[in-house]
Amino acid sequence: SFPAAAAGRAQVQQDPFLETTEGTSIRISCSHPNIRTGDFIHFYRQLPGQRPQLVAVTAKAPKEVRNPEGRLWVSADRRSSALWL
């Protein structure tokens, strides 16, 4: 499960549930139309019985993700993002 977190004032929309088989890539999209200057985009992973773990954070630049391996992308206007794993 990969819920996205943002500042309390932000409205964040994403698919409530995504599923893939092990070894198959997945794209997790997130919409945050009211993002403000200075807001960062965070993606977390929470495994069963564990606390959420930060996977990636960025303001606008694409980021390589190491664990799990992937890439975080942000649209030019910063109103949407996607995490490829």
State the Cα torsion 60-74-14-4 to the nearest 10°. -40
Structural domain count of the chain: 1
8 is a domain residue: no
Name the residue among 29, 25, 24, 45 with its Cα closest to residue 56.
Answer: 45
The CATH number that applies at residue 55 is 2.60.40.10
Q: Which domain holds residue 76?
A: 24-84
- pLDDT for residue 7: 44
pLDDT tens-digit series, residues 50-78 = 999 999 999 999 999 998 899 999 999 99
pLDDT digits 0-9 by tens, 12-50? 787 777 778 888 999 999 999 999 988 999 999 888 899
* Within a domain: 10: no
Residue 7 lies in a domain: no
Domain assignment of residue 69, yes or no: yes
54 assigned to some structural domain: yes
